[in-house]
Chain A
Amino acid sequence: MGEFKVHRVRFFNYVPSGIRCVAYNNQSNRLAVSRTDGTVEIYNLSANYFQEKVGCEDGSVKLFQITPDKIQFERNFDRQKSRILSLSWHPAGTHIAAGSIDYISVFDVKSGSAIHKMLVDRQYMGVSKRKCIIWGVAFLSDGTVISVDSAGKVQFWDSATGTLVKNHLIANADVQSIAISDQEDSFVVGTAEGTVFHFQLVSVTSSSSEKQWVRTKPFQHHTHDVRAVAHSPIALISGGTDTHLVIRPLMEKVEVKNYDAALRKITFPHRRLVSCAKKKQLLLFQFAHHLELWRLGSTVATGKNGDTLPLSKNADHLLHLKTKGPENIICSCISPCGSWIAYSTASRFFLYRLNYEHDNINLQRVSKMPAFLRSALQILFSEDSTKLFVASNQGSVHVIRLLEGSFKHLHTFQPQSGTVESMCLLAVSPDGNWLAASGTSAGVHVYNVKQLKLHCTVPAYNFPVTALAIAPNTNNLVIAHSDQQVFEYSIPDKQYTQWSRTIQKQGFHHLWLQRDTPITHISFHPKRPMHILLHDAYMFCIIDKSLPLPNDKTLLYNPLPPTNESDIIRRRTAHAFKISKKYKPLLFMDLLDERTLVAVERPLDDIIAQLPPPIKKKKFGT
């Protein structure tokens, strides 16, 4: 396996944005998550909860206030005094419930008049709070309106009579969100204390048909406000200020209790935010509104395995590049030579030329980018930094030749006819001959860069691609999918390699398939063609193709055996997957040279330290 000098990078000051809203679509089994920085993420719940798309339409948070004034214009609705914070339609579309401050109004859509104004009690545990904000309302088909408010109450109202039916005091803080299941037999609410409560409609006695809403299970997966909840047929989904997206399957709806029934907690994006200029030892970090360029520190010391070496030169923050305008950065890249930086927002593409003069850096923007380059989803430089590949959201891949201070558009690989799928992953071979591009679900296309034509298409697979890379010399394309399968495809032979066929026949280790996070980066060792280096957020793995594959009986996560152990045992227990969990959460890992690795970690504690303080709760025994 070999020893590496590892740069442990912890200065990537990345903080995911808090979740503001989640929406679940039953037909496609996809989940849309909006964050406070304006990004929208789409998760495919069928494909192992993989984050498929990121849209950054607008860099600002826009709060849309829906007041009935507009409706009044059309339908002559009654005018309300205070603002409305939540709305819910009756499933039949005849009524609207609107949550306001201190009261809930029920409107008749036809007549446009408020038929009921239901006043909410401001009292909270005997103390009168200033105002009671209705954070959420839900209208059920039987006419029941469920409201959640800032006094910690979940209340059931009869919209026909405008009376309070039942009151559940569930929290000492605000209840901020509510989501109803499609069958209307269960709903979920999220509180500012980070707790998610599940309510169910259960029959009072087994003999009678009378049913009542009962608070059943509480879930405490969040530390901060739960700003948004969603209810899929089999799971409760919640997200909030603490930036985690939590998917909690409902055990009673799960058919088989396998690994799919486990809780999912998604913290880090399923895409790369870091790019690396290997030769210059530079790292480019992508934030929502700026880029940071760092030079890695260096050391002259040597030490044993496991030693921490003292730095002779500290890491340097070279550049802080702010975006123009309010838009978020979608993707960014630094060229392997370190002299080009490219990034793209939702509407514009930027390319910069970097000149290094001793310690000074001269940044020069390349102007007059062509219009077709706007809104790129992925940017990649060739190994010799002479070509730039840009995957656009129209499904095409543009090839641009870079000259000193200028550029030339060489070619555009157009998408296959009939598909409008956008390309979001690119990989180029180190010799610069081959370019692989992949969308979310269709197969991987391999283009011949020299001849500028499509070489072949890797057969489509059910699960989206999470990472792509082309090995040096052999030009084998390694593809990782969201169901944790890894394929190796020989580009010259246009077929899967023997090793890939073997591992598909034998199957991956069950623990490998049960990992939570997708593989986000694949790289290769220049001197060891049998090695594939890949990582997800919680592990780093070297696949040694020369060693036997593990079966379900062997230990997958074997810690590196101590050196004094006899060679025989070591060889007997050795298998192809060498896994290290030393670095986590791992955002990026790559090989700088034969003996040096760079690992970018982002400890969760550092993220929590940057979040606003949560609501203080007395903990028993403290």
Chain B
Amino acid sequence: MVEVESLRVVRCGGSELNFRRAVFSADSKYVFCVSGDFIKVYSTATEECVHILQGHRNLVTGIQLNPKNHLQLYSCSFDGMIKLWDYIDGILIKTFIVGCKLHALFTLACAEDSVFVIINKEKPDVFQLVSVKLPKSSSQEIEAKELSFVLDYINQSPKCIAFGNEGEYVAAVRDFYLSVYFFKKKTTSRFTLSSSRNKKHAKNNFTCVACHPKENCIATGHGDGKIRLWRNFDDEKKYTYTCLHWHHDLVMDLAFSVTGSSLLSGGRESVLVEWREAAEKNKEFLPRLGATIEHISVSPAGDLFCTSHSDNKMIIIHRNLEASAVIQGLVKDRNIFTGLMIDPRTKALVLNGKPGHLQFYSLQSDKQLYNLDITQQEYINDYGLIQIELTKAAFGCYGNWLATVEQRQEKETELELQMKLWTYNKKTQGFVLNTKVNMPHEDHITALCFCNAEKSENPTLVTTSKDGHFKVWILTDDSDIYKKAVGWTCDFVGSYHKYQATNCCFSEDGSLLAVSFEEIVTIWDSETWELKCTFCQRAGKIRHLCFGRLTCSKYLLGATENGILCCWNLLSCALEWSAKLNVRVMEPDPNSENIAAISQSSMGSDLFVFRPSEPRPLYIQKNISREEVQWGVFVPRDVPESFTSEAYQWLNRSQFYFLTKSQSLLTFSTQSPEEKLTPTSKQLLAEETLPTTPFYFILGKHRQQQQDDKLNEALKNELVQLPLTENIPAISELLLCLSLDVGYLFW
């Protein structure tokens, strides 16, 4: 039983894995990456997250192995602290409080008891590289205020700083110049490329820098795709450089191999290039990595590379340029058109992923399960190219069917539209294309929904479009003499006074279909496709439409663009109630009568949970996010929670996830989601590190039993927990008004 004090909004994974270069452990068994406020420790062999190092209170901006003890890891964060971790056990060893925002961290084997950090002084864009002396002390928290200045006017990105030849010098790049500071001589050499005013060299600004581990050689990446190898840079006159040019777009990152025999580079081409012997003609490629390479790192043992990609993915690559593992987070660099969906089979969150793909993302393990290629076309990575967009998707019939809509519009009059219907193949455990419909409508498809009623014998799909029609698609026999097959065909086309069809929704039992035509809601009999009745509230176009469920199935809810939420009674064909609420997201819970609505105001987004039968909300949480919330979804829980507090009972059976405009995936929780992750991962780690003894087996079995007991108990609790509607404090913020002047008519 968990006693809850308050419900808070938490990030639930899906944070960036590609924010900084990944770091390998000395034995290449683990790879570390910063992820929001945490540091994640992944096994390079199994791709599993074995630890999440938590402790920073703001974005973690840099991690480095402790050069004196390779079982320890330093991290720095915007919260002004440098922390030292034991990553094997996931324990925080020490915290050094620096006090100012730290942008990046560097360690050097030769630097005694000090690390280098990037801080910004005074003006917001003036960054400095300073060395921080880490005092020796036995206490847990130590103040580290002894900063000594190294370089000024540098770029804040750690990619633009590199230490060379065992800490003999440090190279920094910014805009059009390269500065090299020599620690022994205490001098700075500065090399400037011809400025941006010169058209030919308009894009030759520096983007990243790397230093050769053994020789006096600095590699710099440039905006025009060139790599320059600088030598003789201790002499400002006799310096010289070589160009390597393969990339056509800017070089995102560079890394030398441990011996310095080869140089790795990557960029928007999504190809890892290995330059052997730093020679232009001697290069190897690892192509088709899927997305822009943002960072490249090399393991200290030299056997592995790791590339971080813009689609929130890390690829572990062997020395012989073979990808061995992929750690994929939530793909985030695209607009989300499909909204959030739950795959009924895997309970995975489904949304737009890579261009033209649907991603299936496991909320439990915070990793991507797989990508479904919808457009099935080679993605051409070029700026300004109009791509095919996957705009709509819906699951039907318990995950047996998936409908997707893709569109591409080059000009106003040239719309390319395609609807695809995918069937789940039990053998391959994946979706297979069944029917492809070219131009299912004349204009953009605004909504599609399956009839998910239990009794419906024939799968039915409804699409609505701006062309004023809604179409009913049914599965029919498509067998011929060669094979038995099924396919989808259009069964019925409906319209209402040439208004644009904007939304559609099936009632829970599948007997009624509601289609909204701008301001008007029409109810259709799904047996005969007869128009039963219409509702018109004259309160603006309908933005959301949904039927009530379970005990509230006689209600139909509609939210309009003018900020009115309406509830119609289908039995009386009258408006039951309406409320003034600017609804952005309206999601029904599939396991209860609850409906979650998120409204948008100037202050931020507010959440309201209510039942259609009652105009009073069950639960209100103000200011769940400062940003606009774009999508939300209820995710049924595997193991129901048992909140006693009536305000939180709506979360017992399902969890509510929502996605903001900046694409942070948030949820409500009383505990951090990582607590759920740890048992399995700890177990994994134990299996890896501990020898299996008879004692372990006994203990392991016992532990298993305990967990099962707990589960059963929870289930029992869930059975008695019935949602209570009494004693909800009246909320004044929600302006309620019952009105009965509804225009209704029977056809």
Contact = CB atoms under 8 A, between A and B. Distances in A.
Given A200-B240, A215-B242, A252-B239, A169 B282 contact: yes
B426 interface: no
Interface in A198-220: 200, 202-207, 214-218
Contacts of B282: 169
A621 B382 CA distance: 12
B241 A152 contact: no
Q: Which 6 pairs, one residue from A and one from B, show the smallest C-beta to C-beta distance?
A: A169-B281, A216-B240, A202-B231, A206-B234, A205-B216, A204-B215
A168 interface: yes
Given A204-B215, A204-B216, A206-B168, A214 B231 contact: yes
Interface in B204-252: 214-216, 229, 231-232, 234, 237-243, 248
Chain B at the A interface: mostly helix, strand, loop or mixed?
A: loop
Interface of A: 125, 152, 168-172, 200, 202-207, 214-218, 252, 620-621
A200 B168 CA distance: 23
Contact of B248 (A203, A252, A620): A620
B165 interface: yes
Nearest to A254: B237
A216 B165 contact: no
Contacts of A200: 231-232, 240
Contacts of B241: 216-217
A274 to B, nearest CB: 36
Contact of A203 (B168, B229, B232): B232
B322 interface: no
Contact of A169 (B231, B239, B279): B279
Nearest to A200: B240
B280 interface: yes
10 contacts: A169-B281, A172-B281, A202-B232, A202-B240, A204-B215, A206-B168, A215-B279, A216-B241, A216-B242, A252-B239
Interface in B263-295: 279-282
A152 B281 contact: yes
B288 to A, nearest CB: 19
A168 B240 CA distance: 18
A362 to B, nearest CB: 58
Contacts of A620: 248
Nearest to A153: B281
Contacts of B232: 200, 202-203
A217 B242 contact: yes
B700 to A, nearest CB: 55
Nearest to B237: A252
Interface residues of B, number: 22
A206 B230 CA distance: 13
Nearest to B235: A252
Contacts of B243: 217-218
Contact of B216 (A170, A172, A203, A216): A203
A554 to B, nearest CB: 24
Contacts of A203: 216, 232
A130 to B, nearest CB: 20
Contacts of A252: 237-240
A170 B232 CA distance: 21
Contacts of B238: 252
B570 to A, nearest CB: 62
Contacts of A218: 243
Contacts of A206: 168, 182, 216, 234
A204 B165 CA distance: 10
Given A200-B240, A620-B248, A216 B281 contact: no
Nearest to B225: A620
Contacts of B231: 200, 202, 214, 216
Contacts of A125: 281
A217 B214 CA distance: 22
A246 to B, nearest CB: 18
Nearest to B215: A204
Contacts of B248: 620-621
Contacts of B165: 205
Nearest to A169: B281
Contacts of A621: 248
Given A169-B281, A200-B240, 5 more contacts: A171-B281, A200-B232, A202-B231, A217-B240, A252-B240
The residue among B165, B216, B229, B240 with the most chain A CB atoms within 10 A of its own CB is B240
A170 B281 contact: yes
A252 B248 CA distance: 29
B370 to A, nearest CB: 35
Contacts of A168: 279
Nearest to A218: B243
Interface string B162-196: 00010010000000000000100000000000000
Nearest to B216: A205
A192 to B, nearest CB: 15
Nearest to A255: B237
A206 B240 CA distance: 14
A171 B281 CA distance: 7
A66 to B, nearest CB: 32
A125 B283 CA distance: 11
A214 B281 contact: no
B165 to A, nearest CB: 6
A621 B234 CA distance: 38
Interface in B574-620: none
A205 B234 CA distance: 10
A172 B281 CA distance: 8
Nearest to A216: B240
A214 B242 contact: yes
A125 B234 CA distance: 36
Contacts of A172: 281
B215 A205 contact: yes
A612 to B, nearest CB: 25
B418 to A, nearest CB: 30
The residue among B215, B238, B282 with the most chain A CB atoms within 10 A of its own CB is B215
Contacts of B215: 204-205
A206 B165 CA distance: 10
Interface in B638-660: none
A125 B248 CA distance: 23
A443 to B, nearest CB: 40
A573 B216 CA distance: 56
Contacts of A169: 279, 281-282
A252 B279 CA distance: 23
A361 to B, nearest CB: 52
A167 to B, nearest CB: 9
A16 B239 CA distance: 37
Nearest to A251: B237
B187 to A, nearest CB: 11
Contacts of B234: 206
Contacts of B242: 214-217
B273 to A, nearest CB: 14
Contacts of A171: 281
B198 to A, nearest CB: 15
Nearest to B238: A252
Nearest to A168: B279
Contacts of B279: 168-170, 215
Contacts of B280: 170
B10 to A, nearest CB: 48
Interface in B491-530: none
Contacts of B214: 204-205
A460 B65 CA distance: 75
A218 B237 CA distance: 19
A206 B214 CA distance: 11
B122 to A, nearest CB: 34
B408 to A, nearest CB: 24
B582 to A, nearest CB: 49
Interface string B279-322: 11110000000000000000000000000000000000000000
B200 to A, nearest CB: 13
Nearest to A171: B281
A267 B702 CA distance: 91
Contacts of B239: 252
Nearest to A250: B240
